[in-house]
A and B are shown apart, each in its own frame.
Chain A
Amino acid sequence: MTKSKFDAIVIGAGMSGNAAAYSMASRGLKVLQLERGEHPGSKNVQGAILYANMLGAIIPNFRDDAPLERHLVEQRFWLMDDSSHTGVHYRSDDFNELKPNRYTIIRAQFDKWFSSKVREAGGTVLCETTATKLARDQSGRVIGVYTDREGGVILADVVVLAEGVNGLLGTRAGLRDMPKPEHVALAVKEMHFLPEEVIAERFGLTDGEGCVIEAGGTISRGMAGLGFLYTNKESISVGIGCLVSGLAANMENPYRLLDAFKQHPSIRPLLAGSEIKEYAAHLIPEGGFKAIPQLFGNGWVVVGDAAQLNNAVHREGSNLAMTSGLMAGEAIFQIKSRGGLMTKRNLSLYKGMLDKSFVMQDLMKHKDLPSLLHTDSHNFFMTYPTLISQAAQNFVRVDGAPKINGEKATAAAFINARSRWGLISDAVRSAVSWR
């Protein structure tokens, strides 16, 4: 490696790292980006829904050549018990707009494309290179990184830690804590391939349209967790995620949960006949606002999943990652262009930008939800889904008994399971944390 010093080193070429590297390189800064994968994306796992506005803020004409699968026209939310689902489906032709709002993507392909933009903008991207340690001077200021390649320290004015949820550098250097088991979900996911026409027919889609399903209920066996099924062009991403603390306490096996989800009578027909081509696993930060660590210091900033900037309630992460990366890049550029040093004080500009954006405001809004779901998971993921299914069945089934019997049975089932007070308290607490 050259002895020259960089304006910035970015650790990681995922969503946040690419956004940061691109925003700095395209403004003329001298950027080095390190990625441990064979190519950008080869270590990354996502559902995956891409939010167009946030990418558009970085690369406005991305639709010209980004690898996009389908634009979403339909979203289904399913509450499941073992044999049924109760669903809310939202579908609108408004989403067939000139510049669609959401797309499905495949991360291994998308990250490669995003990284090619960093290179085009003049950034140096080094793959198959794991950063092993931060270099610091006597005062503790971060001055560069060591890697597993030959050669010593690589120096830079600032290091952008875009190393993802399982980032080692920042945690080992004591800049932030390791994620706690109750603040991360383990998601397992498979890629099921089917011909494009078959997917279109099964989900009622034409042209490039896509549909996604988010599913909660007894499929996570009383643990806080969610299943998902997303349509790509010629494949379906199917997966399930549960908090690591829940899995450990219940000694549950994630791939058996996934297999059971796939075998659910509501899911199985959607996947029938598909060819599985990959099985992946990844953590998702779910601690929310209260788990966000210190975001900047002397010579460093942290962005994306590494900083727990992930909105588990709305299943958004990549957009928070991209936006935080972009803002870190902009802040660094602004400091640099007025001749400032990368001190903690100056870098607080990044946090200031983030606070004003949707990133912090959305996370703040739901700050109490993660702990509610964690402490009350059995009710939210076992009791209520079962009750709601029974209620729906009581309503729908026609069996010659007076309707009042069914309604009474429904009310009694809810009260038996949770008591009146329990129901009221759950309702109030959910409403408050949602507000």
Chain B
Amino acid sequence: MKATIIERIEDKLYQNRYLVDTGRPHIAVRPHLSPSPNLLALTQICPAKCYELNEIGQVAIVSDGCLECGTCRVLCEASGDIEWNYPRGGFGVLFKFG
């Protein structure tokens, strides 16, 4: 038997504690016409599914559920595809266990 129950990422993130710094996102995507391969990869590999493709084929970010892992930074900061910072001290994800 190979049943796979796909859990939704929203349900996973819902377990976590966050202190969102409203109006001050810590990651920004550079405006682009079509995404680079690495930027496109983020829509799949970001563990919090922060990156999504919009209707016109561009990559957009909503960083509220961000786990601050740095994967997108490692892939896309050097090329300038994204701008990455830590949230201000105390804000962002607050692991209860880690």
Contacts and interface: CB of A to CB of B under 8 A. Distances in A.
Question: Is this pair of chains taken from one and the same complex?
Answer: yes
Interface of A: 36-38, 41-46, 48, 82-83, 106-109, 111, 127-130, 147-149, 165-166, 168, 178-181, 184, 186, 188, 190-191, 235, 244, 247-248, 251-256, 259-260, 263, 265, 276-283
Contact of B44 (A46, A109, A178, A253): A253
A48 to B, nearest CB: 8
B68 to A, nearest CB: 6
Interface class of chain B by DSSP: loop
Given A36-B86, A165-B70, A248-B75, A259 B97 contact: no
A278 B37 CA distance: 31
Contacts of B98: 41-46, 48, 106-108, 111, 278, 280
Nearest to B1: A265
B85 A168 contact: yes
Contacts of B96: 108, 277-278
A184 B69 CA distance: 11
Contacts of B23: none
A381 to B, nearest CB: 17
B71 A277 contact: no
Interface in B14-73: 15-16, 19, 37-38, 41, 44-45, 47-49, 67-71, 73
Contacts of A252: 44-45
A165 B73 CA distance: 12
Contacts of A48: 98
A92 B3 CA distance: 36
Interface residues of B, number: 44
Given A36-B86, A108-B95, 5 more contacts: A42-B95, A130-B88, A166-B73, A178-B78, A251-B41
Contact of A108 (B3, B45, B97): B97
Contacts of B1: 265
Interface string B69-98: 111011101100000011111101111111
Contact of B94 (A37, A179, A186, A276): A37
A106 B97 contact: yes
A247 B45 contact: yes
Contact of B88 (A109, A148, A165, A181): A148
Contacts of A107: 95, 97-98
B5 to A, nearest CB: 7
A259 B5 CA distance: 8
Given A41-B98, A45-B98, A281-B48, A248 B69 contact: no
Contacts of A82: 2
A251 B75 contact: no
Q: Which of A38, A180, A259 has the most CB of B within 10 A?
A: A38
A111 B98 CA distance: 10
B21 to A, nearest CB: 11
B89 A127 contact: yes
Contacts of B9: 255
Contact of A45 (B12, B37, B95): B95
Contacts of A168: 85-86
Given A106-B98, A108-B96, A251-B44, A166 B89 contact: no
A280 B70 contact: no
A178 B74 contact: yes
A127 B94 CA distance: 13
Contact of B6 (A45, A256, A278): A256
B41 A191 contact: no
Contact of B45 (A127, A254, A263): A254
Given A247-B45, A251-B44, A278 B85 contact: no
A256 B73 CA distance: 21
A180 B74 contact: yes
Contact of A277 (B15, B75, B92, B94): B15
A178 B82 CA distance: 14
Nearest to A167: B70
A352 B85 CA distance: 34
